[in-house]
Amino acid sequence: AVNPPIVFDEGSNANQADLGGDNTIEVSISPQGTEITITLHPTYQETLYKDIALIRNLDTRAYNVYIRVLTPLSLPSSSSAVLEIRSLAGALIASVDLLSTGSTTSIGSLGAGDVWSIWVRYTIPEQSSPPDLTSATLRLIYTPSSETPP
């Protein structure tokens, strides 16, 4: 088998302090680097987590990259949660809804040796009851051609 050319990697805030006490932003990457589980400790209003993970192109050619949410975040109704794919300079490239599952989101073309940063932004209304923690699991899908995965 060929090693995956596109992989998840830890960002600068992976496994660092999260909201409340001794909580951490938990980032768990599969052995081949193609799936990631992110666990957060939600609170009210808007929260932003910067650079919790990376998407790296380890190959010498560009790939079209997609993300599929396997397990969505579990937040109260009227909440929103998005995974933001950003350049290392901070420019927004694409957004993925973290509250729904099954759909595949096109992120764009990642050049040879390039890296994107993953941020998470969510909003929880004050009158709701957020869970103590919630996790999302994501899968990387990539292709060197222009085909769209099912």
pLDDT of residue 142: 95
pLDDT digits (tens, 9 = 90+) for 19-39: 888 999 999 999 999 999 999
DSSP letter string, 29-67? E-TTSSEEEEEE---SEEEEEEEEEEEEE-SSS-EEEEE
Burial of 24 (0-12, 13-18, 19+ CB in 10 A): middle
Beta carbons of 101 and 70 less than 8 angstroms apart: yes
Tens of pLDDT, residue by residue over 91-112, are 999 999 999 988 899 999 999 9
Contact at 8 Å (CB) between 54 and 5?
no
Parallel, antiparallel, or unpaired for β 115-124 and 134-143?
unpaired
Confidence of residue 6 (pLDDT cuts 50, 70, 90): very high
